[in-house]
Amino acid sequence: MPADDAPEQGSGAPEPSRQRPAAGDAGSNRMLERVCLVLDALEHDRANASELARRTGLSVSTVHRLAHSMTAYGFLYRSGDGRFGLGHRFVASVLDNAALPHLTALRDRTDESAQLWVRRGEQRVCRLSISAEHELRITLPVGARVDLPAGSSGRILADAPGIREELAAQGWVESIGTRTAGVASVSAPVRLEGRVLGTVCLAMPIPRLTVSPGVDYGESVLEAARSIELDLR
């Protein structure tokens, strides 16, 4: 006896498994296949467009166009020497795992709230948030979004004018009431192979400062960022 969902003899209806995808679906599948080829080709090391073309079998022009689009969405990044590597969307969980113990230690050492921020387009997103235990404390939920370049972390992630000079001089950047009245912060970048993956940020109420967020806590924040970098290598 035939199954209930079997097509009738002579009905002309194709079996579901033999149905062809619509033209739009086929185009989407081809694009996904190419994206997967590029991601697989970069799983173990970086490559320029010519090397990616050789590894994937795609043309150099196709790889170049696709790689730049994937870079814009954070799936890839491009280093100064023109090579592509896996972007922040693939290192985020590794970054979170590496950062958590160091953010907790930073909070315990300073008794202020510690956060990990990463860039997403023209915003920054809070990946980790370890709150201070004071009754008056600065808290932000994981997933909170703030427009760039507001705040100390925002200026670093946006590569704001003058930020490189500040970082070269002291390693950290501070903010006092510039984004939210009554709130101060100091941030330091977390880098991997020269590129900024995210920032360590320590936030506190202005009345608890002794001198400034940078003078009071800059070295501790910088030490936490460097410790995360070591764990990522």
Of 2.130.10.10, 1.10.10.10, 1.20.1440.130, 3.40.50.620, the CATH number of 16-86 is 1.10.10.10
Provide the b/e sequence for 128-144 (b: ≥16 CB within 10 Å): bbbbbeeeebbebeeee
Are the CB atoms for 140 and 150 separated by under 8 Å? no
Contact 172, 221 (CB under 8 A): yes
Predicted confidence band at 26 (pLDDT cuts at 50, 70, 90)? low
**Every domain of the chain and the residues it spans:** 16-86, 89-232
Task: Report pLDDT digits (tens) over 124-142.
Answer: 989 999 999 888 888 888 8
Which pLDDT score is estimated for 152?
97
What average pLDDT does the structure give for the chain?
A: 86
For residue 35, the SS3 value is helix
pLDDT band at 25 (very low <50, low <70, confident <90, very high): low
pLDDT for the residue 93: 73
pLDDT of residue 13: 39
pLDDT at 186 over 80: yes
Helical H segments across 4-150, by residue range: 23-41, 49-56, 60-72, 88-110
Read off the tokens for 193. Answer: 């192979």
CATH top-level class of 89-232: alpha beta
Output the pTM of the full model: 0.65
What pLDDT, in 10s, does the model give residues 106-118? 999 999 999 999 9
Q: Please, what's the b/e burial string for 62-97 (b: 16 or more CB within 10 A of its CB; e: otherwise)?
A: ebbebbeebeeebbbbbeeeebbbbbbebbbeebbe
| Cα atoms found within 13 Å of the Cα of residue 176, Cβ hemisphere only | 11
Which pLDDT score, from 0 to 100, does residue 191 have? 95
- Confidence band of 233 (pLDDT split at 50, 70, 90): confident
